[in-house]
Structure 1
Amino acid sequence: MIGIDLGTTYSAVGVVESGFPILLANEEGRRVIPSAVWFGDGAVEVGEKALRRRGVSPVVTSVKRLMGRRPGEVDDFPLPLDEGDRVRVLGRTPEEVSAEILKELKRIAEWRLETEVRKAVITVPAYFNDAQRSATKRAGELAGLEVARIVNEPTAAALAYGLDKLGEKARVAVYDLGGGTFDLSVLEMRDGVFQVLATRGDTRLGGDDLDAALAGWCAEKAGAGAVDGRMIKEAERVKRALSADGEAVFRVPFVDGGESIEVAATRRDFEHLAAPFIERTIDCCRRAMHDAELSPADLDAVVLVGGSTRIPAVREAVSAFFDREPDLSQHPDEAIALGAAIQAGVLTGAVRKVVLLDVTPLSLGIETFGGLMNVLIPRNTTIPAKAGEMFTNAVAGQRSMSLRVLQGEREMARDNWRLGEFEVAFEPAEKGRARVGVQFRIDENGILEVLARDTATNRDTVLEIRDAAVDVDDEKVETMVSESVEHAFDDMAERVFTEARLKAEELLPAVEAVLSQGDGIVPEEEVAGIREAEATVREALDSGDANRLKAAVESLDKATEAVAARMVERAMEEALERRMGG
C-alpha cells in the first residue's frame, strides 16, 4: 500500500520500506512532481512534461480547487470551465484530471517497487467537506486504486514529525500552507496515539493566491492588460527568489504580441501584498487554539509544512503569534506524503504502535420542527463517529417526515449549509406516536452517511450525498464559523424564543380545552391564576422577547401542574373502572 499527497501545486508518493517511510522518485530523480496535466490528441502528460507544454497549449493546474465543486462556485480558475450540470475543464471532470495525476504516481510506485500497487492512502486538506473527500476517493478509484483511507494533511504531517517520538507526550500545532489550501491543526501525541484536538483552515488560500496577487501588481505597474498563465508562472519564480533575496525582476516577453514587461519587485513589496493572506492564516490559528482551549505556551512545537512556509514573512508571523521559533525539521514539500506513507504502513502492519484519531471540523445535524438546527455530531468530534436520535411526527395523521441534513455552527437551520434532503414515509399516527430513528455515521475518511429508520416497519432510507455536498464557496467555511461567534447571542436568543414559542403553541390550546370543559377538574380559585399566566404568555409572544416568553411559558406550565396531575389521576381511575367493569 502506498501513501499519496495529492497537492494543489505538487504531489508525491511514498511507501514504508523496512520500517522507514520513503518517497519514491521518478525517472528524473524527482520525489515531488507538479500537479499539472496536459491532454493531447489521445495522449496525456503529467508533471514537468505537462508544464513544458504551457504557453503552447492549455495545461490544467490547481485542479484540486475544483474538487467537489458545482458550476457557478468557481470564478478564479486559470482555464475556462465548461457549462453544464457538472464542473468540467477541457471537457473533463476534476476527478478525471486528478485521476491522471494519481495514475502517474501509481506508475512511479510500481516502477520503483517492481510490483503492482492496488491500495493507497490519500491526503486532503482538513477543511475539505464531504463532497471534496468523496471526489478525491472517486479520483483514486478512476486511477485504479482502492482508497483505503483519506487522511487530513496536517495530521499526516504530524505523523511524519512524531514517528520518532512515539514514547513521548507532546502537543503540536501543524501549520500547513500549500499551493492552494491552508490548515492549522492542534494534535496531542501520547504513547503512539495521535489525537486531533482542533482544526481550522481555508480551502481557498495558498501560494496560488500569492502568485496571482504578485502577477496582478506587476502587470499594473507595467500598464499591461489581463494577467495570463505566463505572468502567473513568472510571479511564482519571483516569489521564490524573494524568499532568498531582497529584490528580483519580473520579466515576461512580448505580452499580447507587443512589448515585454520588466518590473523590479522588492521583498518588502511582496510582503505588503502577502500581508492580508498571511493574516487570514493567523486568524485560523487563533480560532484553532481557542477551540483546543490551549494557549501558545501549552504547545511543545509548531511544525511548518507546505511550500509556502518558505516565505520569510510567513515564518515571522507564525513565530510572533505562537511566541516561539517554528520547527523546520520537516521538508515542506515532502512531510505530508511521508505521513501518508506512514498511515499506509500502519494499515498494512509495517508500522506498529501508532494510532490516528482525527476530528470533523464542522457540526452535523438535521433541521427540526420550528426551523432549528439539531446537532447530532458536534464540531471537533473524533472520527470515525456515529450518533443517533429518535424523532416523532409533529402533526396528527402525518404520513412522512422530511429530513434536511445540515452542516454548520448556527442555531437556526436556515443559517447552516444543506447537505441533502430526503423523505421518510411511515404509517399515519397520532401526534408524537410515529417514530423515526436517524443515525449519522462518519467513517475514517470523514465521509458522511445518514440512515433513517421507521421503527414500526424497520424500513431504512439512506441518504446519498451528491457531487457537491455543500452548496457554498469553500472560502465561506471560515465565515460560517466566525459568524457563529459574531451572532452567538442573537442566534441563541432566537433559538430560545423559537423553542418557547413551540412550547406555548402546544400549551395554550391544551389549557383552553381544559378550562372550557367545565367538569370541575379546575377549581375556581385556580382558574384566575391560569388565565393570568395564559395572558402573560400571549403578551410575551407578541413582544418577541425570548427570555420573557421563556419565563412566561414556565409560569403557565407551573400554574397548570396541579391540573395536569388531576387529569392523569382521573384517567387512571377511569381505566381501572373499565377494567373492573369488563
Structure 2
Amino acid sequence: MAIIGIDLGTPNSAAAVLRGGHPVIIPSAEGISIGGKAFPSYVALTSDGQVLAGEPARSQMAANAEGTVTAFKRRMGKREMTRLRERDYTPEQLSAFLLQKIKRDAEAFLGEPVEKVVVTVPAYFDDNQRAATKDACRIAGLEVVRLVNEPTAASLAYGLDRLSQELRIAVIDFGGGGLDVTIMECGKGVFEVKSTSGDTQLGGTDMNQSIFEHLAGRFQMATGVDVRGDRKAATRLIEATDASCYEAEKMLANFADKLTDDLKKRIEASLRETKEAFIKKEVALATERAETLKKLLKEAGATLYAQSGQAPKGRPYAETRWEGPEPPPDVHAASGEPRPSGSGPQGKVVDAEYHENK
C-alpha cells in the first residue's frame, strides 16, 4: 500500500509517489490544469447538490460563481465558514473534498488503495493550522503519517539531504498563497527550521487579483463597460488572468467583439500598457523588499538554494539580487514540483520505518 506525498496549495495542489527511487507526479483524471499542476484547489457545489473538486470545480466556476470557492487553505485553523448555495462549510471540510479527489485519482493511477499520506504545510503554520490540516485528511479518509514543512520538502527535492557538509540555507518560496522565506540548518539528512518570515497576502493569487483589477479598470476607461458588474464576465476574466495575460486579452477581445474597430484598437493598446505596467510594478514590489530580504539572509549567514516564481521578472529576481555564497554544483532542482517531489520520498522513509519497526 503506497504512501503518497501531497502539496495542499492555495491555488493549486499536487501529489507524488516514489517509484524506483524517483518521485513521480500523480496526474488527475483530467490531466494538467492551469498553473501546471494536476489539482486546482477549487471546490464547487452545483445547483443539484453535487460536490465537485479540482479541475471539474474550476472549469465550471464562470457558470457557478456563487457555488465555487478557492484559496480555502488561507482559512485553515480559523473558525470561518464559507457559504456555498445556502450551505456552510469549514475550511477543513472544503480541503477534505479536494483531498478525496486526490485520493481517488491517486488510487486509479497507482492501482492500489491509498490510505496514508505525507502532507506539506507552510513553516509558519501554527498548531491550530497543522491540526486542521490533519482533520481535513481524516475527513477525507486519509491518515497523516507526517507533516513536512514546505521548505524541508523543497530542500529534499533539491537533493540537500545528500550533501555531506552542514549548511545554513535560505529557502525562498514565492507561491500562489504567499511569499515565504525560511532559514534552515541541514546536515546528514536532518533539517531544522531556525526562523521563518514572509507575507501571506503576497502570492500569485494576490498578484492575479491585482492584474484583474487593473485590467478591468483600463477596460472600463477604454469602453465605458465595467466587467466587474457582470459576475460571469468577471469570473472569466479572473480565470483568464490566472492562465496568462494572453488569455485575458483574448477574453476581453471576445467580450468586446461587437465594439467598433477604433475602440478595439484602444483596448489592445491599453492591454499592452497593462502588461508593461504589471512588469514594472512587479519589479518595484520586489525591489521594495530587497533590502530587508538581503539583510535577513546576510545576518543568517545562509546560502540561497531554492526559489520559485513564474511571473515575467520573478524567477531570476532572487538569483540576481543574491550576494551570498553560491550553491554547490551537484545540487539540482527537481523538475516541475519540488514540494510534492520532496514529500514523496518522505512517504517512502516513513513506510520503511513502519515496516522496519513492525
Given that 1:201 and 1:284 are in contact with CA atoms closer than 8 Å, whether structure 2 keeps it comes out as: no
- Where do residues 40-189 of structure 1 align in structure 2 (5 Å cutoff)? 40=46, 41-58=48-65, 59-70=68-79, 86-90=80-84, 91-162=88-159, 165-189=162-186
Equivalent position amino acid for 1:302 in 2: Y
Report the alpha carbon displacement of residue 209 of structure 1 after superposing the two structures with TM.
Answer: 1.0
Structure 1 pair 189–164 and aligned structure 2 pair: CA distance change class (3 A): closer
Asked whether the equivalents of residues 294 and 322 of structure 2 are also in contact (C-alpha less than 8 Å), the reply is no
User: Structure 1 residues 42, 153: closer, same or farther in 2, change over 3 A?
Assistant: same
Q: Partner of 1:96: helix, strand, or coil?
A: helix
Query: Does the aligned pair in 2 maintain the 1:319–1:326 contact within 8 Å?
Result: no
| SS in structure 2 at match of 1:204 | coil
CA gap 1:225/1:6 in 2 versus in 1, 3 angstroms:
same
Alignment of 1:454-533 (within 5 A): none
The answer to whether the 8 A contact 1:9-1:35 is kept is yes
Which residue number corresponds to residue 26 of structure 1? Answer: 28
Q: Normalising by structure 1, what TM-score?
A: 0.50
Question: CA offset at residue 12 of structure 1?
Answer: 0.9
Q: Determine the C-alpha separation between the residues in 1 that align with 2:140 and 2:292.
A: 34
1:234 to 235, 240, 243: 240
Residues 1:151 and 1:96: Cα distance change in structure 2 (over 3 Å): same
Encode CA deviations 1:25-72: one digit per residue, 9 max, x unaligned: 2334436221112222232222222222121112222221222234xx
Which has more radius of gyration?
Answer: 1
Q: Which residue of the partner structure matches residue 347 of structure 2?
A: 344
Structure-to-structure mapping, 1:344-423, within 5 angstroms = 344-349=347-352
Alignment match, 1:425? none
SS in structure 1 of the partner of residue 218 of structure 2 = helix
Q: Name the CA shift for 1:124/1:214 in 2 (closer, same or farther; >3 Å).
A: same
1:220 has 2:217 as partner: yes
Classify the secondary structure of the residue corresponding to 1:264: helix
1:50–1:325 distance in 2 versus 1, CA, 3 Å: farther
Aligned-partner Cα distance in 1 for 2:89–2:326: 41
Name the amino acid aligned to 2:78.
R
On the 8 A contact 2:161/2:188 being kept in 1, the answer is no
In structure 2, stretches of 5+ residues that fail to align are: 229-233
Native 8 Å contact 2:17 2:23 kept in 1: yes
Alignment CA distance shift 1:123-1:268 (3 Å)? same
Identical-pair percentage: 36
Does 21-30 or 145-154 show the bigger shift? 21-30
| 1:35 counterpart residue number | 41
Query: How many pairs are equivalent?
Result: 322
Q: Which runs of 5+ in 1 are unaligned?
A: 71-85, 243-247, 352-582
Where does 1:328-343 land on structure 2 (aligned, <5 Å)?
A: 329-330=332-333, 334-343=337-346
Give the aligned residue type for 2:337.
E
Q: 1:107 to 1:320 in 2, by over 3 A?
A: same
Q: For each residue in 1:400-459, what CA deviation from the matched residue of structure 2 results, as whole angstroms up to 9, or x when unmatched?
A: xxxxxxxxxxxxxxxxxxxxxxxxxxxxxxxxxxxxxxxxxxxxxxxxxxxxxxxxxxxx
Kindly provide the amino acid, as one letter, of the partner of residue 285 in structure 1.
L
Q: Distance in 2 between matches of 1:350 and 1:176?
A: 29
* Distance (whole Å) between structure 1 residues aligned to residue 287 and residue 235 of structure 2: 27
SS in 1 for 2:300: coil
Deviations 1:54-111, CA, capped at 9 Å, x for gaps: 21112222221222234xxxxxxxxxxxxxxx42231222211111111111112222
Question: How many Å separate the matches in 2 of 1:332 and 1:129?
Answer: 30
Asked whether the equivalents of residues 63 and 98 of structure 1 are also in contact (C-alpha less than 8 Å), the reply is yes
> Shift of the alpha carbon at 1:344?
1.7
* Change over 3 Å in CA distance of 1:196–1:318 after alignment to 2: same
Contact 2:155–2:161, Cα closer than 8 Å, also in 1: no
**Are the structure 2 counterparts of residues 350 and 168 from structure 1 closer, same or farther at C-alpha, using a change threshold of 3 Å?**
farther
Q: Kindly provide the amino acid, as one letter, of the partner of residue 15 in structure 1.
A: V
Amino acid at match of 2:61: R
Alpha-carbon separation, structure 1, partners of 2:204 and 2:336: 13
Q: Is the 8 A contact 1:199 1:288 kept in 2?
A: no
* CA distance 1:48–1:284, shift in 2 (3 Å): farther
Cα pair 2:178 2:201 within 8 Å, conserved: yes
Compare 92-101 and 221-230 and name the one that shifted more: 221-230
Structure-2-length-normalised TM-score: 0.78
CA-CA distance at 1:139 after TM superposition: 0.9
The more displaced of 105-114 and 224-233 is 224-233
Contact 2:157 2:334 in 1 (8 A): no
Seen in structure 2, the aligned counterparts of structure 1 residues 343 and 47 have a Cα distance that, compared at 3 Å, is same
CA gap of 1:98–1:284, structure 2 versus 1, over 3 A, is farther
Distance 1:340 1:282, change over 3 A: farther
Alignment match, 2:231 = none
CA shift, 1:189, in A, is: 2.6
CA distance in 2, matches of 1:14, 1:319: 28
Counterpart-to-counterpart distance in 2, 1:109 and 1:100: 14
Query: RMSD of aligned C-alpha atoms?
Result: 3.2
Point out which structure has higher relative CO (alpha carbons under 8 A, 6+ apart). Answer: 2
Per-residue Cα deviation, 1:270-304 (whole angstroms, up to 9, x for no partner): 123324643576466346436xx434xx51x4311
